[in-house]
Amino acid sequence: MPLLVSGPVATSTLATEIAPEDLPSIYRAMVVARALDERCLTMQRQGRIGFYVPVMGQEAAQVACAWALEAKDWIFPAYRELGLALVRGVTPEELLDQFFGNAADRLKGRQMPNHYGYRDRNFVSPSSPIGTQITQAVGAAMAARRRNDPIVTIPFFGDGATSSNDFHAGLNFAGVFRTPTIFFCQNNGWAISLPRSRQTAAKTLAEKGAAYGVPGVVVDGNDVHQVFRTVRGARARAIAGDGPTLIEAQVYRLGPHSTSDDPRRYRTDAELAEWKQRDPIGRLKHELVDAGQWSEERDSQLLEEVRADIAGAVQRSESVGAADPLSFLDDVYATRSPALEEQRQQLEGWIQTGLVKL
């Protein structure tokens, strides 16, 4: 059961437990996230994409959380929320288009890789500064409440962000004004290379909410059932007008912080091996097999199918041409102003004459 640190978390009028028939679909989403993760890490090392932030080890927390939300709820991600995007219906190919920054990228190459956003999925584009999405989510929640829009906003962040200014400002505002916000902290033990023990003296990160009147709950982030149950309860509490909840999902990052990081410099092989024994994908697989809902044969078929689908998506996405360099002058206004049109024509001429090389 989740450890309740401060304050009650109400039960939802919706189902508070995952429907057994949904578990294979949740497992599939986790497998897709892992397979895409592995492929993207390889492609970055090959120089085919410039940068990547892996989710490996945190799939259960993300997929179960997304499963507990409703499509109308607004997600404010950091830069590691691949599992959430997949559950929201973002396809691997759409994600790959963004990683490549090709002509099919909805963001038109204007965001660095892994900074994807989808307006039609209520999935906000992240930014690199730590914790800024927290205050943005609280503001959006306040606006929704004033419109009588029965939704929640949910910012995602790591343990390192709980030391940021925006974390404290966001929780304070949310606590005072009882905004319908779920603060979802994925505590993976490391803020890049800084261990949690060197960052805070608090016994848990969830208990930090107590100072702001925000209930804090610690869950095993590798347990899809605990995560689902807790998010459903926090959502019901927010919709009922009882205010925000801070959830600390205890997970572990099995891979590097990003492809710019070498975790071997700050953590031991023994620590990594210990956490691999708790791999959330293996854990859910064994649960399904024990319940008679899965088999080794089905598992092999699934992995083969997923890897083939991702290989096809990579091939299609990589074959798409580069984004139009002139597109950076678009979307400033609904219709380009005369000044922008003049600048566009000038730049187009420079490109044609070779004055500007691409």
Let me know if 257 is a catalytic residue. yes
Q: What is the pLDDT of residues 33-49, one digit of tens each?
A: 999 999 999 999 999 99
Q: What mean pLDDT comes out for the span 77-100?
A: 96
Residue 57, pLDDT > 70, answer yes
Q: Are residues 139 and 213 in the same domain?
A: yes
Q: For position 317, what pLDDT does the model report?
A: 97
Q: Are residues 311 and 356 in the same domain?
A: no
The catalytically annotated residue of 45, 48, 266, 298 is 266
Q: Are residues 148 and 22 in the same domain?
A: yes
Alpha-carbon gap, residue 211 to 171, rounded angstroms:
9
Q: Are residues 280 and 145 in the same domain?
A: yes
Alpha-carbon gap, residue 180 to 234, rounded angstroms:
9
Q: Are residues 44 and 151 in the same domain?
A: yes
Number of independent structural domains in the chain: 2
Q: What is the pLDDT of residues 92-113, one digit of tens each?
A: 999 999 999 999 999 998 899 9
Identify the domain containing residue 337 by its residue range. 324-358
Let me know if 253 is a catalytic residue. yes
Q: Are residues 71 and 217 in the same domain?
A: yes
| Global model pTM greater than 0.85 | yes
Q: How confident is the model at residue 60 (pLDDT cuts 50, 70, 90)?
A: very high
Determine phi and psi for 20, rounding to 5 degrees: -50, -35
Q: For position 176, what pLDDT does the model report?
A: 98
Q: How confident is the model at residue 13 (pLDDT cuts 50, 70, 90)?
A: low
Q: Are residues 207 and 346 in the same domain?
A: no
Q: What mean pLDDT comes out for the span 196-213?
A: 95
Let me know if 52 is a catalytic residue. no
Query: Where are the extended beta strands (E) located within 97-243?
Result: 153-158, 182-187, 190-191, 194-195, 216-220
Average pLDDT score over the chain: 94
Q: How confident is the model at residue 230 (pLDDT cuts 50, 70, 90)?
A: very high
Query: Where are the extended beta strands (E) located within 200-357?
Result: 216-220, 245-250
Q: Are residues 97 and 20 in the same domain?
A: yes
* Helix 23-45 vs helix 280-290: crossing angle, to nearest 10: 150
Q: Are residues 257 and 291 in the same domain?
A: yes
Residue 8, pLDDT > 60, answer no
User: Between 8 and 166, whose confidence is greater?
Assistant: 166
The catalytically annotated residue of 39, 196, 235, 253 is 253
Residue pair 211/175 in contact by the 8 Å Cβ criterion: no
Residue 355, pLDDT > 50, answer yes
Calculate what percentage of the chain has a pLDDT beyond 90.
Answer: 87
Q: Are residues 299 and 330 in the same domain?
A: no
User: Between 327 and 102, whose confidence is greater?
Assistant: 102
User: Between 322 and 92, whose confidence is greater?
Assistant: 92
Q: Are residues 209 and 355 in the same domain?
A: no
Q: Are residues 250 and 337 in the same domain?
A: no
The domain that holds 313 is classified in CATH as 3.40.50.970
**261, β-bridge pairs:** none
Q: How confident is the model at residue 208 (pLDDT cuts 50, 70, 90)?
A: very high
